[in-house]
């Protein structure tokens, strides 16, 4: 955690400052750095890093007699299993059904991201080209659905889809997922498109590029980083979603999120739930790494 | 700018604090099945004992066990089914009952006392019972002329084709697999895993036709007409029938106990060890043992009634309903769910995961 | 489709390529083009110069097609351009901020117009290499714009605009962002490039020095009006009115009236300089009020009585001087209070100035110097 | 750029897609029937039922209390983290700040549930929810504050130090006023995230305490009456004014100090 000090460092190598004053100043700086950086570090390590380690540990243990986790050490007198085991991993990797459900969840998340992109991109493009006053208003209207609770937005679709017998179907799940995640795609796209220099479009037009050519050769390539940022912002939460499939999905629409939730809150098999969660974490990290590599090429 | 934010935070704290203090009076925490006690009964008790009842709901024993395990503090009374009482006793999660405070225990029908899961009723007192059966939309099924007497309705593809996307089943491993075992003619106490494998296969064959796994939304869906057949508890089906009638829906709901037999669930009131209001809890249990209050369970919610004293107060057509008060010979093939050994439970658990995932 | 590239013949004073006919344009109450009419010949290096906000950039944008006039017409080879969108016009622009495509390499930027016209990849590659040779950027073909220096970026913008040999190249103050040294170098390159390719250049700048040194014809603009269009020498030597005289180069303006017209000179009565002789200008009559414009470099500065052979002589004291290296500019305050600017080359090395502050000197200039302006 | 008709039609389609469901929810909150099947008659009884529903009010109270406390603490820590990330180049802090926002909420919920139960043996309730909410809203505040700092002119603070202010004075009189809009925005975002959170609260709420989202979840799953619609409509109105408030004070404030 050694942070290179930048705050007011310039006076350090200024010869005319007296040695004594220089030391005192350095001490104050050291304390300031500590005051500002220790509390957040402490809180996040204690309530983020530690829980993550506990989750990894939990995936290596047996389930307790009545839920929870079996004890780590073999204490005399208490029967039942204890200690670490790879049983959960053998079970998860042994049976392809779990990789299958992960792929199915990834597939649903992918379709959601694609639909969000298809709907969000023209909207973001339109907003980015409106005059300033209108722009803020139109963006506000995109964020507003976030104003009402995430469950209510799902419940709205229960009411709408119910009578048409579309409820409890993959279609309902996709509609729900797109509905919940659409604003998350519009915002990064809009901020990216808004930054485009209009002069570039004039230059392209001046050099003989027609409307479609301008979009394909200029606007689209430059908005790629926005597209990847938006897609990651939709795909990753969608992958771990369980409320939408549970409320809108049918028997065949279970996602990995539902399975994890069920392990913890219904079938009380915490170790197996933790293992599934790790499987999901690994997938998310892979996706994040993949999309970070693209958004890294920040062009404009 | 800063003052604006501080004022805003202060206002929020005051508002929140206001809501919180209103309920400082002594409060009894009841963790019960949803739709298993009438609001009117709750209000009568609150008036009689000048106290407040704070209710939380669960829709499956497993969910209750998991939640209690996760945040066990504060619940005075739970209403687990027989097998779950046995689990809670083994977990030493319950406080013994003080029978002296339960004068109305005498009203209990002898058949329901001294059950296998709590000999001598040390920890539990029967509250009500329900049968896990099939509710259906009379008009739709008559139009499709489907049988209304057997589990085949929700397990046989030849019937299910006509009901595609219109059937829900319970999202409970024990209930659903037990129903399948019953349909195959096996006892649900059977420990032979091969039989449970057959039950799993049966379920997997029927699953594509089902609309969803649901422990509670089926009450509303039946009443609205989104679904036409539901696997669920008798008192829930009673509620669905009442809702459909009161909402003036163009159809009516009925329910039947399949001839192959079904699961009987006797739910019992128990005291959780972390509850603070032990005295108040005893008064509530005794209150529910009184004939009149127990009768409200049947009259208003359609639950089976183990209370002898209440029988005279129950409305005749509910008393005659075999799905609420099963006749002696029907009782023969009703079985209660029992917990198996941890090893077997894990195998069944894994089967359940396959059912959900395949 | 092979690209047929013919180097157009440089016609001297030849065919009219572009004609502005009574073009008017206003933004609210600001008039940016007030009945502007002029023509640009094929292969010419034409400059538009004027203070910022005089409408020269709007004029350029109207030629490029990004803006259309409220009234009047713009004709290319006699055909009107009003209905033609920018991408269809054989006209390209070098923007002041270069507007290079950040996600494309130098080569891809230069190839852009060629790709838009659908040339084959082979033609594009050869043409791009050729153009990069012209602007000496072959080594930087695969660089991204942000990795280039200011000068290099400017040359890429230029290369991109001439890649498919447009009929007209519009340059919107392209050298404004460069430092002095680089600007001079680019000016030389611009001229050589224009001669080599023979493309008609329309060069917009606010720096009159740049306009004088680069162009074959200059249009001086202010408040949306073209004050004068002429070759650099006549613009500098014989400004049409006060604004042109003052804007192009430095000069001292003195109000004067014509007292007599002689064969080879005019005699003027000025209140600050007394009786002055000035060269004859057309359409002048006795008693005409106007202005006498004197260029600093045309006035000779010396000791009192040193220039007895010059008709025009005035006396004053050196008020201030400005050393600019090769020359030193002197501000002389005359007895009549008028401050006149003149300059003297620092021929003797190491000498910063030849006259001290407050020293009494005499300014003199022959009758051919100066120019009488009507309004 | 000429915005073609197709762009406008797609945009209109998206806005309708976003708003029709909400309109349905609001509409059915006035439907005079237990079920949300079809329109029966106009009534406002669901609102009266809502106001008498003590569970709902308790849940609302809990949500408000938790949201306020969690956003106050997370704004405090988040601002510190934002400044620390901007002033000193730490490698660990940015990852820690980004992690809770970047990963699916279920993972954070599970990790915290295991941690509270297995390590702290803390019974799930008020404090577990509070800490859980702080974990993910701290990240949001830190990022907003840091982006505000990067947008700010760097040598303003150094100028203050140069003119003799010690770090605290430089912070108090120069940096804080400049980043105040971002801190306020951070607080409002943290507040909205906390009051709206369902997944993480669902796993860490235990049994004894209910927040609004949990209450709505149980109402959607169990006794679904139009009372849910009523509470949704009210919640929309409250959060709507909150966002309108935030979008009005914050951007103007940021624009005022914007130093491009």
Q: What domains are there in chain C, each with its CATH number?
A: 16-242 (3.40.50.300), 250-373 (2.40.50.100)
Q: Largest Cα–Cα distance of chain A, in whole Å?
A: 86
Coil, strand or helix: which one is C268?
strand
DSSP secondary structure, A173-241, as one string = HHHHHHHHHHHHHHHHHHHHHHTS-HHHHHHHHHTT--HHHHIIIIIHHHHHHHHHHHHHHHHHHHHT-
DSSP E strand boundaries for C12-57: 16-27, 30-41, 45-49
pTM for the structure as a whole = 0.80
Q: Is the pLDDT of residue B137 over 90?
A: yes
Cross-chain Cβ contact A149/D212 below 8 Å: yes
What residues of B are in contact with residue A80 (Cβ under 8 Å)? 342
Yes or no: say if D172 and A85 are a contact pair by the CB < 8 Å rule: no
What is the predicted pLDDT for the residue at C2? 44
What is the predicted pLDDT for the residue at C241? 85
Q: By mean pLDDT, which of B327-336, B339-348, D146-155, D249-258 is the weakest?
A: D249-258
Of D60 and A73, the one with more pLDDT: D60
What is the b/e burial string over B50-82, where b = at least 16 CB atoms within 10 angstroms of the residue's CB? ebbbbebbbbbbbbbbbbbbbbbbbbbbbbbbb
Q: Is the pLDDT of residue B283 over 80?
A: yes
Chain A contacts to C (CB-CB under 8 A): 197, 199-200, 202-210, 213, 217-218, 221-222, 299-300
Contacts of A257 (CB under 8 A, 6+ apart): A105, A239, A240, A241, A242, A245, A280, D104, D106
State how far the Cα of A196 lies from the Cα of A175, in Å rounded to an integer. 31
What is the predicted pLDDT for the residue at B138? 92
CA distances for C152 relative to A202, A276, C158, angstroms: 21, 56, 10
> Within 10 Å of residue B154's Cβ, how many Cβ atoms?
26
What is the predicted pLDDT for the residue at A6? 46
Alpha helices in A45-146 (DSSP H): 50-58, 87-94, 96-128, 132-143
Domain for residue B330, yes or no? Answer: no
Coil, strand or helix: which one is C292?
strand
Q: Is the pLDDT of residue B205 over 50?
A: yes
Residues B170, B207 within the same domain: yes
What is the predicted pLDDT for the residue at A183? 86
pLDDT, tens digit (0-9, with 9 covering 90-100), for A177-191:
999 999 888 888 888
Residues B122, B190 within the same domain: no
Residues B254, B286 within the same domain: no
Q: What's the distance, CA B60 to chain centroid? A: 7
- Give residue B303's domain range: 25-129+265-325
pLDDT, tens digit (0-9, with 9 covering 90-100), for D184-230:
888 888 888 888 888 888 888 766 678 888 888 888 777 667 888 88
pLDDT, tens digit (0-9, with 9 covering 90-100), for D37-48:
677 888 888 888
Coil, strand or helix: which one is D253?
helix
What residues of A are in contact with residue B212 (Cβ under 8 Å)? 168, 249-251
Domain for residue B12, yes or no? Answer: no
Number of domains chain D contains:
1
Cross-chain Cβ contact A299/C102 below 8 Å: yes
Domain for residue D241, yes or no? Answer: yes
**Any contact of B with D, at least 3 CB pairs below 8 A?**
yes
Exposed, middle or buried: residue C337 (CB in 10 Å: 0-12, 13-18, 19+)?
Answer: exposed
What residues of A are in contact with residue C96 (Cβ under 8 Å)? none
Residues B156, B98 within the same domain: no
What is the predicted pLDDT for the residue at A19? 64
Coil, strand or helix: which one is C239?
coil
Question: What average pLDDT does this structure show over D241-258?
Answer: 61
Could you tell me which of A123, A178, A120 has the C-alpha nearest to residue A153? A178
What is the predicted pLDDT for the residue at C84? 87
State how far the Cα of A134 lies from the Cα of A129, in Å rounded to an integer. 10
State how far the Cα of B352 lies from the Cα of B177, in Å rounded to an integer. 8
Number of domains chain B contains:
2
Coil, strand or helix: which one is D208?
coil
Question: What average pLDDT does this structure show over B167-181?
Answer: 92
Interface test with B, best of D58, D206, D231 (most B CBs within 10 A): D206
Cross-chain Cβ contact B217/D65 below 8 Å: no
pLDDT, tens digit (0-9, with 9 covering 90-100), for A48-72:
999 889 888 888 888 777 667 777 7
What is the predicted pLDDT for the residue at A79? 66
Q: Is the pLDDT of residue D257 over 50?
A: no
Domain for residue D239, yes or no? Answer: yes
Cross-chain Cβ contact C95/A199 below 8 Å: yes
Cross-chain Cβ contact A249/B212 below 8 Å: yes
The per-residue pLDDT of chain A, averaged, comes to 82
Residues B219, B346 within the same domain: yes
User: Which residue does chain D place closest to A161, by CA atoms?
Assistant: D21
User: Which residue does chain D place closest to A31, by CA atoms?
Assistant: D167
Domain for residue B15, yes or no? Answer: no
User: Which residue does chain A place closest to B67, by CA atoms?
Assistant: A265
In what helix (H) or strand (E) does residue C265 lie, and over which residues does it extend? Answer: strand C265-270
Q: Which tokens belong to C201? A: 């250049």
We report the CATH number of the domain holding residue B352 as: 3.40.190.10
Residues B225, B289 within the same domain: no
We report the CATH number of the domain holding residue D62 as: 1.10.3720.10
State how far the Cα of D101 lies from the Cα of A236, in Å rounded to an integer. 10
Q: What's the distance, CA A259 to chain centroid? A: 19
Q: What's the distance, CA C61 to chain centroid? A: 18
State how far the Cα of A285 lies from the Cα of A167, in Å rounded to an integer. 33
Q: Is the pLDDT of residue A16 over 60?
A: no
Any chains having at least 3 CB pairs less than 8 A from chain A are B, C, D
State how far the Cα of D156 lies from the Cα of D170, in Å rounded to an integer. 9
Yes or no: say if A266 and B60 are a contact pair by the CB < 8 Å rule: yes
Could you tell me which of B113, B229, B116 has the C-alpha nearest to residue B179? B229
User: Which residue does chain B place closest to D128, by CA atoms?
Assistant: B71
What is the predicted pLDDT for the residue at C7? 42
Q: Which tokens belong to C276? A: 């002055």
Show pLDDT as tens, one digit a residue, over chain C (375 residues): 444 444 444 444 568 889 999 999 998 888 889 899 999 999 899 999 988 888 888 999 899 888 889 999 999 988 998 888 888 889 999 988 888 888 889 999 999 888 888 899 999 999 999 999 988 898 999 999 989 998 899 999 999 999 988 999 999 988 888 888 888 888 898 888 888 888 899 999 988 888 888 899 999 998 888 989 999 988 888 888 888 888 888 888 888 888 888 888 888 888 888 888 888 887 788 888 888 888 888 888 888 888 888 888 888 888 888 888 888 888 888 888 888 888 888 887 777 677 888 888 888 888 888 888 876
DSSP 8-class letter at C240: S
Yes or no: say if C251 and C245 are a contact pair by the CB < 8 Å rule: yes
No. of H helices and E strands in chain D?
A: 12, 0
Cross-chain Cβ contact B225/D33 below 8 Å: no
- Give residue D147's domain range: 44-257
Could you tell me which of C102, C42, C36 has the C-alpha nearest to residue C70? C36
Q: What are phi and psi of C71, to 5 degrees?
A: -150, 170
Residues B247, B288 within the same domain: no
Domain for residue B78, yes or no? Answer: yes
Domain for residue D146, yes or no? Answer: yes
CA distances for B155 relative to A50, B200, C20, C311, angstroms: 47, 11, 86, 125
State how far the Cα of D162 lies from the Cα of C289, in Å rounded to an integer. 62
Yes or no: say if B211 and B169 are a contact pair by the CB < 8 Å rule: no
Domains of chain A by start residue, with CATH: 9-58 (no CATH), 89-296 (1.10.3720.10)
Question: What average pLDDT does this structure show over B305-320?
Answer: 86
Q: Which tokens belong to A7? A: 């705050």
pLDDT, tens digit (0-9, with 9 covering 90-100), for A285-300:
888 888 777 766 544 3
Could you tell me which of D34, D211, D50 has the C-alpha nearest to residue D128? D211
Length in residues, chain D: 260
Domain for residue B5, yes or no? Answer: no
What residues of B are in contact with residue A267 (Cβ under 8 Å)? 62, 173, 349, 352-353
Q: Give the model's confidence band at B73: pLDDT under 50 very low, under 70 low, under 90 confident, else very high.
A: low
Q: Give the model's confidence band at B21: pLDDT under 50 very low, under 70 low, under 90 confident, else very high.
A: very low
Cross-chain Cβ contact A8/D198 below 8 Å: no
Q: What is the arrangement of strands in the sheet containing C71-76, beginning at the earlier edge strand? A: C30-41, C16-27, C71-76, C79-80
Domain for residue B331, yes or no? Answer: no
Q: Give the model's confidence band at A2: pLDDT under 50 very low, under 70 low, under 90 confident, else very high.
A: very low
State how far the Cα of D85 lies from the Cα of D63, in Å rounded to an integer. 30
Yes or no: say if B312 and B291 are a contact pair by the CB < 8 Å rule: yes
ipTM: 0.77
């Amino acid at each position: 955690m050694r942070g290179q000090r930048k705050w007011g460092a310039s006076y350090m190598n200024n010869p005319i400052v007296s040695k004594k004053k220089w030391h005192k100043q350095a001490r104050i700086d050291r304390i300031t750095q500590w005051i500002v950086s220790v509390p957040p570090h402490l809180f996040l390590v204690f309530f983020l890093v530690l829980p993550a380690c506990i989750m990894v540990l939990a995936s290596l243990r047996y389930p307790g007699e009545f839920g929870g986790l079996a004890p780590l050490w073999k204490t005399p007198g208490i029967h039942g299993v204890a200690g670490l085991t790879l049983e959960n991993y053998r079970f998860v990797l042994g049976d392809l059904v779990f990789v299958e459900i992960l792929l199915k969840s990834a597939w649903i998340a992918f379709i959601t991201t694609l639909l969000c992109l298809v709907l969000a991109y023209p909207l973001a493009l339109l907003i980015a080209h409106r005059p300033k006053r209108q722009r803020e208003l139109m963006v506000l209207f995109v964020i507003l659905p976030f104003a009402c609770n995430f469950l209510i937005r799902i419940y709205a679709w229960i009411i709408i889809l119910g009578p048409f017998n579309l409820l409890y179907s993959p279609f309902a799940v996709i509609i729900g997922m797109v509905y919940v995640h659409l604003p998350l795609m519009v915002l990064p796209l809009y901020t990216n498109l808004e930054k485009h220099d209009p002069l570039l479009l004039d230059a392209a037009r001046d050099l003989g590029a027609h409307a479609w050519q301008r979009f394909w050769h200029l606007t689209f390539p430059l908005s790629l980083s926005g597209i990847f940022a938006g897609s990651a912002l939709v795909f990753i939460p969608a992958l771990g979603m369980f409320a939408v499939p549970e409320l809108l999905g049918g028997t065949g629409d279970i996602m990995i999120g539902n399975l994890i939730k069920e392990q913890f809150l219904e079938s009380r098999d915490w170790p197996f739930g933790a293992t599934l969660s790790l499987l999901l974490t690994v997938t998310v990290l892979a996706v994040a790494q993949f999309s970070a590599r693209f958004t890294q090429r920040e062009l404009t | 700018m800063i003052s604006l934010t501080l004022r805003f935070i202060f206002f929020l704290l005051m508002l929140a604090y206001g809501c919180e203090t209103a309920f400082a009076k002594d409060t009894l925490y009841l963790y019960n099945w949803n739709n298993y006690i009438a609001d009117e009964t709750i209000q009568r008790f609150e008036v009689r004992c000048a106290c407040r009842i704070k209710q939380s709901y669960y829709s499956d024993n497993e969910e209750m066990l998991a939640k209690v395990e996760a945040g066990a503090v504060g619940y005075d009374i739970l209403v687990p089914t027989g097998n779950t009482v046995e689990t809670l006793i083994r977990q030493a999660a319950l406080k013994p009952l003080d029978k002296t405070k339960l004068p109305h225990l005498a009203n209990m029908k002898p058949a329901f006392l001294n059950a296998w899961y709590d000999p001598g009723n040390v920890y539990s007192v029967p509250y009500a019972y329900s049968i896990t059966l099939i509710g259906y939309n009379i008009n739709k099924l008559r139009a499709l002329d489907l049988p209304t007497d057997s589990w085949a309705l929700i397990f046989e593809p030849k019937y299910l084709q006509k009901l595609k996307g219109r059937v829900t089943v319970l999202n409970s491993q024990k209930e659903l697999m037990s129903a399948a075992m019953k349909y195959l003619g096996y006892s649900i106490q059977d420990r032979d895993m091969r039989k449970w494998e057959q039950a799993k296969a049966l379920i997997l064959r029927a699953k594509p036709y089902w609309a969803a796994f649901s422990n509670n939304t089926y009450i509303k869906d039946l009443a609205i007409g989104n679904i036409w057949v539901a696997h669920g508890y008798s008192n829930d089906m009673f509620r669905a029938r009442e809702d459909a009638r009161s909402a003036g829906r163009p159809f009516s709901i009925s329910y039947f106990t399949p001839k192959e037999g079904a699961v009987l669930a006797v739910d019992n009131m128990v005291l959780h060890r972390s509850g603070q209001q032990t005295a108040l809890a005893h008064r509530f249990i005794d209150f529910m043992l009184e004939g009149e209050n127990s009768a409200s369970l049947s009259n208003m919610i359609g639950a089976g009634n183990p209370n002898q004293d209440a029988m005279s107060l129950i409305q005749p057509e509910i008393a005659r309903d075999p799905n609420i008060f099963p006749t002696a010979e029907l009782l023969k093939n009703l079985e209660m769910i029992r917990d198996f050994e941890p090893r077997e439970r894990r195998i069944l658990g894994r089967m359940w995961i396959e059912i959900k995932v395949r | 489709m092979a690209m047929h590239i013919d180097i157009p013949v440089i016609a001297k004073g030849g065919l009219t390529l572009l004609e502005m006919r009574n073009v008017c344009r206003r933004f609210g109450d600001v008039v940016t083009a007030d009945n502007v009419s002029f023509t640009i010949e094929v292969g010419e290096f034409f400059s538009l110069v004027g203070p910022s906000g005089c409408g020269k950039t709007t004029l350029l944008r109207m030629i490029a097609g990004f803006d259309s006039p409220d009234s009047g017409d713009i004709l290319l080879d006699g055909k009107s351009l009003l209905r033609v969108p920018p991408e269809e016009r054989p006209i390209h622009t070098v923007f002041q901020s270069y507007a290079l495509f950040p996600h494309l390499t130098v080569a891809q930027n230069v190839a852009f117009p060629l790709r838009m016209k659908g040339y084959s990849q082979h033609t594009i590659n050869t043409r791009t290499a050729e153009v990069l040779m012209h602007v000496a950027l072959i080594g930087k073909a695969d660089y991204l714009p942000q990795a280039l220096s200011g000068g290099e970026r400017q040359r890429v913008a230029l290369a991109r605009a001439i890649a498919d040999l447009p009929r007209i190249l519009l340059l919107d103050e392209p050298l404004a962002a460069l430092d002095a040294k680089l600007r001079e170098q680019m000016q030389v390159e611009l001229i050589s490039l224009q001669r080599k390719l023979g493309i008609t250049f329309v060069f917009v700048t606010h720096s009159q020095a740049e306009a004088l040194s680069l162009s074959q014809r200059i249009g001086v603009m202010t408040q949306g009006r073209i004050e004068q269009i002429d070759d650099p020498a006549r613009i500098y030597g014989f400004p049409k009115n006060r604004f042109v005289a003052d804007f192009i180069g430095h000069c001292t303006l003195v109000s004067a009236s014509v007292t007599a017209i002689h064969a080879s000179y005019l005699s003027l009565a000025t209140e600050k300089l007394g009786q002055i002789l000035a060269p004859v200008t057309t359409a002048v009559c006795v008693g005409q009020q106007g202005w006498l414009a004197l260029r600093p470099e045309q006035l000779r500065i010396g000791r009192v009585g040193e220039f007895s052979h010059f008709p025009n002589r005035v006396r004053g004291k050196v008020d201030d001087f400005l050393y600019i290296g090769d020359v030193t500019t002197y501000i002389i305050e005359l007895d009549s209070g008028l401050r006149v600017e003149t300059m003297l080359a620092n021929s003797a090395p190491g000498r910063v100035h030849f006259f001290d502050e407050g020293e009494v000197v005499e300014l003199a200039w022959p009758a051919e110097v100066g120019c009488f302006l009507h309004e | 750029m000429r915005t073609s008709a197709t762009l406008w039609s797609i945009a209109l389609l998206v806005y309708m897609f976003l708003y029709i469901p909400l309109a349905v929810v609001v509409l059915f909150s006035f439907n005079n029937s237990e079920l949300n099947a079809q329109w029966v008659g106009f009534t406002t009884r669901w609102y009266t039922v809502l106001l008498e529903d003590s569970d709902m009010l308790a849940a609302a109270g809990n949500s408000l209390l938790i949201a306020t406390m969690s956003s106050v603490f997370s704004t405090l820590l988040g601002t510190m983290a934002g400044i620390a990330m901007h002033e000193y180049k730490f490698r660990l802090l940015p990852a820690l700040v980004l992690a809770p926002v970047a990963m699916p909420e279920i993972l954070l919920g599970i990790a915290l549930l295991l941690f509270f139960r297995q390590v702290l043996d803390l019974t799930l309730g008020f404090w577990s929810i509070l800490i859980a909410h702080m974990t993910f809203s701290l990240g949001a505040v830190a990022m907003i504050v840091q982006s505000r700092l990067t947008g700010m002119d760097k040598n303003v603070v150094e100028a203050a130090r140069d003119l003799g202010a010690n770090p605290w004075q430089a912070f108090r009189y120069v940096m804080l006023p400049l980043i105040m809009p971002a801190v306020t925005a951070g607080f409002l975002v943290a507040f909205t995230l906390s009051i709206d959170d369902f997944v993480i609260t669902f796993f860490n709420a235990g049994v004894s305490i209910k927040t609004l989202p949990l209450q709505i979840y149980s109402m959607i799953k169990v006794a679904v009456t139009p009372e849910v619609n009523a509470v949704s409509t009210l919640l929309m109105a409250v959060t709507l004014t909150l966002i309108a408030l935030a979008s009005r004070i914050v951007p103007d404030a940021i624009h005022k100090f914007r130093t491009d």
